[in-house]
Amino acid sequence: RAIVRRGTEPADLGERMRKRNTMGASIRMAIMGVEKRQFGRDDGFSTMSIEDEIYKNEQKLPSVELSLEHLRLRCGGVAMAAQGEVGVEEAKRWLKKAPHKDVVALGSWTDPPPCVLEVVQAALTYLCDSDTSWENCVCSLRQGRGFTREVIEFQHLRITRKNLEKMMACSLDMHRVLTQAPKRDGLYTAVSLCLLMECIILENKVRLGIPAPPPPPPVEFTPEQPRIVQFRQLLPALEGAQELQRTPLLVCNGKEDIICTFFSYMCAVAIDAKELINEVLVKKTISLEDMRDKVRQKAVKALKYGRPLHIRLSTASPDWSGYCCEGGLPLEVFAAAKWKTQEVWSQVVRPQELDGACFNFDSHFVFVTSDLDLPRVQQHLKGRLPYYDALAIIDIAPDSIH
């Protein structure tokens, strides 16, 4: 790869950079590892193009932490179901959000884990660089956004089969980078670069007719074999439950409020079991029939607009027979394999409620949360919750919820 030396920028660009030559700008350039030089000096090459881009990054790019969180959510199961797989062009846009400072920071890692090392090696292979040693990786990363720009602008459909096979040998996995790489400056660059390399490999495999390996067998988790996950692994676990056509029951271990706040950002429609008990049986401010219709209307709202339906149990284990009957919800609302069939959900939606509906069963799903721990969930909800044996119990590790 040829590295273009800079120094031939037009004079008007130099004029703009001179106006920007303040003490604050100089400090920012020094922090980011770029020495700011006077335009027209002969004792070195000019870095004004780099500085100009860094300046724009400071003003326009979101924070690395925010971009990383957005990318994590975008590549989660629910977002994938709603928006589809990430393509090459979208992956390039994610990499463009990596600031110069973050790219350079990745080059400062002295002993990167294999999941990160292979990402940069795949990028160098993609750019037809045969030297994939970490020392050469560092040299490329120290170019900052100059390196990522080169990756983004490279014609990805011109990759040879030989180079593609070398990239495939790197065993790239964005989720492995997210979970195994140290949480430090440079992580966002590694994650977004990995995403782009994965997308490029996939698209070129289709172009060259290389068959994909068979998918791994699905992970089975049932009421008898609950799946224990960290909070950051919740969305992939939900995706696994949907693939198995099981309604997820999330065991929140006393932290249901935090989990509910998380799902409120996804515009989930909540049915609160404690509200049913308090309003109907304790305060008696509403009749059972009116509450049954209120619950039905919430399910209709979730169905019409493709939003998740959240059944929040808290510490309660109510009798659902008064609400899962004619005029309310069908029992199959707890059975994912049956709920999305028209024969079942059409029992909930009335003809006059179809106006303005935009059903999206890719983003709509039903899930249940309980504030109890796993032993008490298995003790109190079995026999009380419809289709309990068809649920996928996901036990969220309490120390992973903050």
Is pTM, for the whole model, over 0.75?
Answer: no
pLDDT of residue 326: 87
- Confidence at residue 166, expressed as pLDDT on a 0 to 100 scale: 93
> What is the C-alpha end-to-end distance of the chain, expressed in Å?
46
Q: What is the mean pLDDT of each run of 10 residues along the chain (402 residues)?
A: 45 47 55 47 46 53 84 79 84 93 94 94 93 93 94 92 92 90 93 95 90 63 80 90 91 94 92 94 93 94 93 93 90 92 89 83 92 93 90 92 80
pLDDT confidence of residue 75: 86
- Count of C-beta atoms within a 10 Å radius of residue 169: 12
Q: What is the pLDDT of residue 10?
A: 46
166 vs 368: CA distance, rounded Å: 45
Q: What is the pLDDT of residue 281?
A: 92
Q: Which two tokens stand for residue 100?
A: 């110069």
